[in-house]
Amino acid sequence: MNRRSFIKKAAMSLIGGSLIFQQNSCRRRKERPRLTFLHISDTHLQEGIPAYALVREKVDAFIDAVNSEQDFPLPDFVLHTGDMIHGEKLERLLPECLFAKQTLDRLACPWHPVVGNHEVIQREGHPQYQAAYEQVFGADRVNYAFERSGLVFILLNSSSGLASPTVNIDRIERPDKADIIDHLNRHGGDWLPAAIEKRNSWLQEVLRDTASAQKIVACHIPLISIREEEVLRQSFGFFSYKMLGDELVALLEAQQNIKAVLSGHLHLSGAVQQNRITHVVTSGFASYPCHFSRWAVYADSIEVDFYQLAPHLVTPETNIHGARRHGKDFTDDLHPTAEEYVAGNSDENHRQILLN
Ligand SMILES: [Fe+2]
Ligand SMILES: [Fe+2]
């Protein structure tokens, strides 16, 4: 196997192999970035027969490629925005978290986890359901922050999909209101408002303490809709195509220097700018288009590029936004083809985020 074929710039696959995206500003730069990191997500690792095809092979190939520096120098760290495991049953959470940690610890650089809904089966903050994650990754890795090269990274547990501790069901005006009520009945409980309150209070405190620093936030469930909202609601098929409620995004948009929010969960790739903040969702490896993103931080900007795994590890049958699952493909105004809808258009495949 050609070692250089493990991963490729995602944009190249959208434009028939043209090299045009190798000429982006990242490649033109002469100076070395002061920091680089990779954003991965939704690996849905599990032992035995996985729910998503080839997940272990994909993660192993990714780690080998990163460690051997065959496509770019070893990053400073890797950020995993959740659904590291598939889970689904309480008794599977601990062994799968252990397996995911053992697998991802092979990375030659540090990596930082974010809680996804699959790590806790949607029960954010539930002492029993969150116990496996805390035991394996650390109770101090639920809502936490760190600083690198002058940037503050804030990692949030958004695994319930709820932005606010109180959801007023009477006020919900969405076509999927019945799904939301069902979700809250099945996965909610007394612990949930307290857990969300604690997360939001912690976030406010961190934002106060780091007021002058430029910041990047990572959370599993996107804060805003990354596609035309009604289309995404249908193609994703779950109410959590974005966080329910605007409390978190309003909190961040009130700040002057939140530069980006990184998320996963949707199993598609895209980027949207809203009120100065660039929201980037990376599909991760379980589902097509099997992307991760590389972030190169320079003095004046951050360059973000999507990469796709090599063709033998790309699994079109795992596309959850297309005809295989729904009997029809989806498009919206900015994504006129099914491929762009799930893998992002050319604007999304390379983004430049200006720093102060
Ligand atoms: Fe996922
Ligand atoms: Fe998820």
Tell me the residue range of the domain where 167 lies: 3-354
The confidence band for 230, taking pLDDT boundaries of 50, 70 and 90, is very high
CA of 33 to the centre of ligand 1 (A): 30
DSSP state of 224: S
Handedness of CA 163, 320, 292, 256 (dihedral sign): negative
CA 332–ligand 2 middle distance (angstroms): 22
- State how many domains the chain has: 1
268 C-alpha vs ligand 1 centroid, how far in Å? Answer: 10
Cα separation of 34 and 103, whole Å? Answer: 28
Cα dihedral sign for 242, 348, 319, 95? negative
* pLDDT of res. 205: 98
What pLDDT score was predicted for residue 9? 63
Q: Pick the ligand that lies closest to the CA of residue 318.
A: 1
Check: CB of residue 94 under 8 Å from CB of residue 137.
no
**Weakest mean pLDDT among 8-12, 19-23, 265-269:** 19-23
Contact criterion met (CB below 8 Å) for 129 and 93: yes
Domain with residue 51: its CATH number is 3.60.21.10
Q: Which tens digit of pLDDT belongs to each residue from 51-73?
A: 999 999 999 999 999 999 988 99
Taking the centre of ligand 1 as the mean of its atom positions, its distance from the CA of residue 42, in whole angstroms, is: 4
46 alpha carbon to ligand 1 midpoint, in Å?
13
In degrees to the nearest 10, what's the CA dihedral of 178, 183, 188, 192? -90
Is the alpha carbon torsion for 115, 331, 9, 353 positive or negative?
A: negative
Centroid of ligand 1 to alpha carbon of 83 (angstroms) = 5
243 in Cβ contact with 222 (< 8 Å): yes
| pLDDT at position 338 | 97
Distance 197 CA to ligand 2 centre (A): 21
Rounded CA gap, 129 and 79, in Å? 23
pLDDT tens per residue across span 133-172: 999 999 999 999 999 999 999 999 999 999 988 777 767 7
Ligand nearest to C-alpha 85: 1
